[in-house]
Structure 1
């Protein structure tokens, strides 16, 4: 049993862990990373990236079906080749996994493949390809992520009841699909399978879909998805599921309290996550809350030398939040180890954007109008519809809007909410603005390029102050 001493060991190589390791290495720290499955973690291999590849295929399918709207003729029937769609998605994941492998080599980060278990705040054992290794470090970062939560009465079996992992590599196309939960994961898969021609029903326990978004976005998205042929049930709950060899029978309690039994070919559960913190020896070393590791704004736990980042810590559970925490944590460690040139800054949760890649896309940052009012702000809010934007009309993507929320007294940008084409690419403009503590004056005085959909961002700011030009 070899004993290897490091400055930092990172447990988990997802977008939090591998980024933390790279930043540690950049800062001259001897760094090792432990991974039990695939470098890049869930995000690169089974989450954010390969799902976008699937959604791109669905988007192309959608455009092909609507070719005549663009003056184009496509001869013959348009069909989805499920195996080829999945193969493309897996190829994208493989390319990115290889990219992370290269980054580890480039930054001279020692990779230990296997199951890591903490034996103390700064030591762990790894059981894997080299047998059992004992590793020690001055600091350890836990970045073990999270997994999909199972329904208590219908555990995912990969055949009829799926989590996102099964939904990404289906062996057959569903005919009638039940999606339980309308957060980002549920709605993205509902959108993908709907575009692929599947009959999709979404059941959401709360009174609106994508419940963390502004209510205007939720209402618009529900209307849009319904128009695309989806069945949306809000204020509803799945009370029981019976699985057979041919499908699932679901008892669904509707908004009116009536329980109906409906048959589906498959079911996707997207009802939240469970942190991967069991059996890694962390419970005795850190304060825990429902399995999540409690940390200070820099990632410190209560045990000296032990840190945690990403989905195994309190939310929001987003890849980009994990990466940002990884950098902050690495810099805080370097500072503790005597580096006077680093100035770590804690994460401002109000400036973390959220993106959902359904069709149409949604993106947001900061407070919703309702939350801003709840927080005691006097609010000025404005909305600009894509139908008033020349580029959106030219693209045939005139469905959507941008909404901005300001503090009426100070002009501070409190939040921005968008639904429509490419909004996931546009939200960053408002994120930069919020990070720079912008007010409406700077945004109004910014020159936006024409013709772009981003002009609707400018117009929404103007609309908040009764000055919109194109509505």
Structure 2
């Protein structure tokens, strides 16, 4: 047995950030991990998917080289195996970086499966990694199985793909994002179930490589969490790339064969149709990793499998905390990281601000990219705000035209009386890098007039942000 101030269970973005912040504040800290430092985000999610999408972007640029005055001789072709190999290499580098941070901050790494074992105690048992992580090894100096105690336990065990009845993944014809990230052959026809960030990113990637892609979405439109106008604009761009969509539609039956699958779709009117595909990617959300943690025995309250917490990450049981996906949505790495800092600083007796969920940006790294923060136009109106809406197209931005990326739109929603920025929504090249400007504006309570008075550099894509604000004020210059 070894005593700590804080034990963190799970070494994903929320977990390892919690451990580092705890160590910075002088708390004796350990972190328990059963498969891979860095969690899903670094190993099988955020980072390796972006590596694949960068490969798709490079392929697209090569195909369009003549548009930029560049002559490419020979065939331009996708090498899926090389793309996957690069992506896995990036993931490995990220895991190594987290191991270095644990050493730097003198955080003990305990390798195994953790379970709550009475007040302030965690039992760690040996864990067998999933076959996809068979090569994963504990970092040098890691501790092993045993019973450990701590004044505070922070649960950061994340989530995994939701399994839908009849669409259970088999690793061959029916995939989750795990199999999609390590595909060995390009699907002839990929049927994507779900049009959230994960589904749309993989649809964009495989379409860029030349696969036929069809997306099925149960909601009336794709990207249901986004502003309707932005989602509609994005759908038009995806359709130009050959992606087909069936909205207000569900998969009611899936027949699997040696050469592919046949999916039966039912729309909102009750009409059915069949689609044949080589592979199916199920991207219909995630479910929390809350099993086998001893939560029920410890008396921890759950809601639909998620740990119920307050604004500082505290569960209903003293000394037990939860952050990240395990504590509920939005299921985003940066939300988990922010919750981690708040949780630990509260444990250390500081006075952190609670997380404002209306100021958490969302990013989808498809082509074109999508980014947003705050209220959509629909929600702002539903909440009774008197709003001023401003929009500015990339078509009128010099940098976008020079880049050959003039298909995009920036949309802002301001309170008409106070000038408060209620929401910002963007689709187009590099908008995932630009959204932080609006996040800062909201956090600093910047008004429309203050944004209008700020000097934006020229020529940049960011000028579309100021022009959208000016449009909301009736003052747009370039349209």
TM range (shorter): over 0.9
Q: Does 1:306 align with 2:320?
A: yes
Residues of 1 paired with 2:144 and 2:459: CA distance?
A: 60
8 Å contact 2:373–2:424 — kept in the other structure? yes
Aligned to 2:305: 291
Can you give the 5+ residue segments of structure 1 that lack an aligned partner in the other structure?
336-341
Residues of 2 paired with 1:98 and 1:15: CA distance?
A: 14
Out of 93, 96, 101, the position equivalent to 1:95 is: 93
Q: Tell me by how many angstroms 1:343 deviates.
A: 2.8
TM-score normalized with structure 2 length? 0.95
Aligned to 1:339: none
Aligned to 2:130: none
Residues of 2 paired with 1:133 and 1:414: CA distance?
A: 50
Residues of 2 paired with 1:128 and 1:191: CA distance?
A: 39
**Structure 1 residues 2-48: Cα deviation after superposition (integer angstroms, max 9, x where no partner):** x1100000000000000000000000000000001000000000000
Q: How many equivalent pairs are there?
A: 463
Q: Tell me by how many angstroms 1:121 deviates.
A: 4.2
Query: What secondary structure is seen at the aligned counterpart in 1 of 2:151?
Result: strand
Q: Does 1:361 align with 2:369?
A: yes
8 Å contact 2:7–2:154 — kept in the other structure? yes
Aligned to 2:439: 431
Residues of 1 paired with 2:209 and 2:268: CA distance?
A: 28
Q: Does 1:109 align with 2:124?
A: no
Out of 180, 188, 208, the position equivalent to 1:175 is: 188
Query: What secondary structure is seen at the aligned counterpart in 2 of 1:120?
Result: coil
Q: Tell me by how many angstroms 1:81 deviates.
A: 1.0
Residues of 2 paired with 1:22 and 1:224: CA distance?
A: 42
8 Å contact 1:403–1:460 — kept in the other structure? yes
Residues of 1 paired with 2:69 and 2:75: CA distance?
A: 17
Aligned to 1:134: 147
Q: Does 1:40 align with 2:38?
A: yes
Residues of 1 paired with 2:73 and 2:272: CA distance?
A: 45
8 Å contact 2:167–2:282 — kept in the other structure? no
Deviates more, 1:150-159 or 1:181-190: 150-159
Residues of 1 paired with 2:330 and 2:256: CA distance?
A: 33
Residues of 2 paired with 1:110 and 1:116: CA distance?
A: 14
Out of 269, 278, 281, the position equivalent to 2:291 is: 278
Residues of 1 paired with 2:303 and 2:289: CA distance?
A: 13
TM-score normalized with structure 1 length? 0.97
Query: What secondary structure is seen at the aligned counterpart in 1 of 2:160?
Result: strand
Out of 393, 406, 426, the position equivalent to 1:398 is: 406
Out of 61, 64, 84, the position equivalent to 1:63 is: 61
Query: What secondary structure is seen at the aligned counterpart in 2 of 1:459?
Result: helix
Query: What secondary structure is seen at the aligned counterpart in 2 of 1:399?
Result: coil
Aligned to 1:320: 334
Q: Tell me by how many angstroms 1:128 deviates.
A: 2.0
8 Å contact 1:143–1:309 — kept in the other structure? yes
Residues of 1 paired with 2:38 and 2:263: CA distance?
A: 36
Aligned to 2:358: 350
Residues of 1 paired with 2:363 and 2:96: CA distance?
A: 25
Query: What secondary structure is seen at the aligned counterpart in 1 of 2:412?
Result: strand
Query: What secondary structure is seen at the aligned counterpart in 2 of 1:283?
Result: helix
Taking the TM superposition and a 5 Å limit, the aligned residue runs for 1:370-385 are 370-385=378-393
Aligned to 2:133: none
Residues of 1 paired with 2:108 and 2:250: CA distance?
A: 47
Residues of 2 paired with 1:26 and 1:352: CA distance?
A: 25
8 Å contact 1:121–1:140 — kept in the other structure? no
**Structure 1 residues 84-124: Cα deviation after superposition (integer angstroms, max 9, x where no partner):** 10000000000010000000000000001100011124211
Q: Tell me by how many angstroms 1:256 deviates.
A: 4.8
Aligned to 1:54: 52
RMSD: 1.0
**Structure 1 residues 298-332: Cα deviation after superposition (integer angstroms, max 9, x where no partner):** 00001111100000012111000000000001101
Query: What secondary structure is seen at the aligned counterpart in 1 of 2:167?
Result: coil
Q: Tell me by how many angstroms 1:243 deviates.
A: 1.2
8 Å contact 2:56–2:208 — kept in the other structure? yes
Rate the CA distance shift 1:72–1:131 in 2: closer, same or farther, 3 A: closer
Q: Tell me by how many angstroms 1:257 deviates.
A: 3.3
Rate the CA distance shift 1:63–1:408 in 2: closer, same or farther, 3 A: same
Out of 461, 464, 467, the position equivalent to 1:459 is: 467
8 Å contact 1:119–1:125 — kept in the other structure? yes
8 Å contact 2:335–2:360 — kept in the other structure? yes
Residues of 1 paired with 2:354 and 2:238: CA distance?
A: 38
Aligned to 1:267: 280
Residues of 1 paired with 2:125 and 2:478: CA distance?
A: 63
Q: Tell me by how many angstroms 1:438 deviates.
A: 1.2
8 Å contact 1:239–1:253 — kept in the other structure? yes
Q: Does 1:233 align with 2:246?
A: yes
**Structure 1 residues 211-240: Cα deviation after superposition (integer angstroms, max 9, x where no partner):** 100000110011110011110111111111
